[in-house]
Amino acid sequence: MTRELRYTDLLESNSFLRNLSDTTYWLCITRTVQESKLFPMNPYMLLSYLNSFYRLPTLLREIDSVTPAEELGDRVREASFKVDTVNAAWGMPAFYLLGREMLMSWGLIRPQDAVEDVLDVLDFSRRFNLSYHRNDGHITNKEFGDRSQFLPERTLDGFSDQLLGVSPDDRLHTATVKLLATLSQYAFLAHCECRVGIHNSGPYNFGNNKQLLVRDFFDLSEGDYPWLDGIAVTLPHNNLTIPIVFSDTNFRLVDDWASFEAEPSYDAANIAAVGMYTCDPLTDGYVPVGMDNAEVLAETMEHYRDIVTEATADLWKRMATWTREQMIDAGALVYSSVGKDFAHLAGTYRQSDWFELDERAQRFKTLMNDEFARDYLAEMVGLIGFPHQKSNPYSMARYSGLNQNMMSSIPYSVLTDPDYAPTVGSELRGWSSHDEKTALWTTSAGRIGIDEYNRRAKEFSPTVHDPKYRYLDEEWVKWNHTTPLAAELYRVGRPQAPGESAR
């Protein structure tokens, strides 16, 4: 494999890289730091960065050859998928580049090495982000003033019509508040006490001093994570989306970690309307869950809360038996697999691709004690103190004002100087301290094996992805809203209504 190196590609990639570097620094110094009394988070984060660096280029090339990144962005923009803001738009390229920084800090690679890999990862990420954010025209939430408004108007119209009103302390309001708390606790535990299983997007203006926040919870049942085999088996959905309308609340920040801040502070008493949906790579947009009426939705939420409460206890018992190595491996695999649902969408998913730690990353595991990992991570992403992270003394970084950058650019000298290693290679070998996955995958088509899941994903295309509709964006709608085609787009592109047969 040889990639042609072009000046324009380097310019675009370095621009995307610097934007990502600045945003990541801002997130690291201003957002709440997640710590765990159970998991060695700093060691597993560092190991995940190395695993991403060695594996991601090969996996993304295969995915991109089947379904290009910009098409994946079009798919993901229509509903809630785990390849979202925190996982794919920010996390996947950031983790990869931090693995690169680690190897540079140890003198094992130079900034020009693996240049073809770096360009391919950044090109894929940039095209995905541009498509994913097509409706708001930005490339990150930070660039958009910390807003996350990727859903089209027709989807929001559907929510506006379908969400069910609540009053403080009525049955549905109480069920919503309790389910959100239970799902949050369980999702953190299932994801080794990190935030990547939870996503928030919005806010969307719902008028009369009301705003919509869309809350997503992913990988809740048997699926990709081996440690969830036998957990939450009676939960019929692997993913749940809960759109919530708030009164008298301004969500002033929804950042690239999908966390939010509100003025006044988030208060469940301000919840005015709710709904619940599911979607996955086999559904045609959002599918309503228990939304026939308020009583049915409340009953469904109460039932799911009981299931998830039991699943949380079962998972605690399982994790209590884990060794330190198993905890590190699980956390590292959660982080380094943040792009795995691209493979599900493309129908190229293999468990060994995403849930093994590459043998090249395994070599560094002996370094990963708590003290080293804590200090090293702080130096790399907080203090930005590695010598190679310094820029010239006249420069001032966007947020720190200092002459230092978290992520190093690709030197343009690769265009004229062939002294570099183009790639880390495409042969993937690895292992994990966890037992192999044996259960089926929870999908909208039932519990199925991975071969059938891949086959169905390859054969499926959502209605609005048809060329007839795909390029009918918000600007087109504004000028053509009275046409039959616009009416047809809004009919087929809304969330399915309760009781509606699958499209």
- pLDDT score, position 2: 76
Concatenated DSSP letters of 134-183: TTTT-SSTTTTTS-B--S-HHHHHHHHHH-EE--TTSHHHHHHHHHHHHH
The angle formed by the CA atoms of residues 92, 24 and 72, to the nearest 5 degrees, is: 30
Give me the mean pLDDT over the 169-185 stretch: 98
pLDDT digits (tens, 9 = 90+) for 372-426: 999 999 999 999 999 999 999 999 999 999 999 999 999 999 999 999 999 999 9
In Å, what is the CA distance from 424 to each residue of 95, 103, 155, 219, 487? 16, 12, 42, 31, 50
CA gap 237, 45 in Å, rounded: 28
CA gap 241, 221 in Å, rounded: 14
Q: Are 120 and 426 in contact (CB under 8 A)?
A: no
Eight-class DSSP state of 245: E
- pLDDT score, position 146: 95
- pLDDT score, position 67: 98
Q: Per the confidence metrics, is the pTM higher than 0.85?
A: yes
Give me the mean pLDDT over the 57-67 stretch: 98
End-to-end CA distance of the chain, in Å?
Answer: 41
Give me the mean pLDDT over the 152-164 stretch: 97
Q: Within 10 A of 132 (CB to CB), how many other CB atoms are there?
A: 25
Give me the mean pLDDT over the 47-66 stretch: 98
Question: 362: closest CA among 76, 47, 19, 146?
Answer: 47
Eight-class DSSP state of 274: E
Q: Is the pLDDT of residue 34 over 90?
A: no
Q: Is the pLDDT of residue 347 over 80?
A: yes
Q: Is the pLDDT of residue 1 over 80?
A: no
In Å, what is the CA distance from 6 to each residue of 16, 100, 356, 408, 424? 16, 21, 34, 19, 20
Q: Is the pLDDT of residue 503 over 70?
A: no
Q: Is the pLDDT of residue 31 over 80?
A: no
- pLDDT score, position 500: 79
> What 3-state DSSP class applies to 222?
coil
In Å, what is the CA distance from 49 to each residue of 54, 284, 288, 347, 479? 9, 34, 37, 25, 46
CA gap 279, 501 in Å, rounded: 15
Q: How far is it between the farthest Cα atoms of the chain?
A: 69
- pLDDT score, position 499: 79
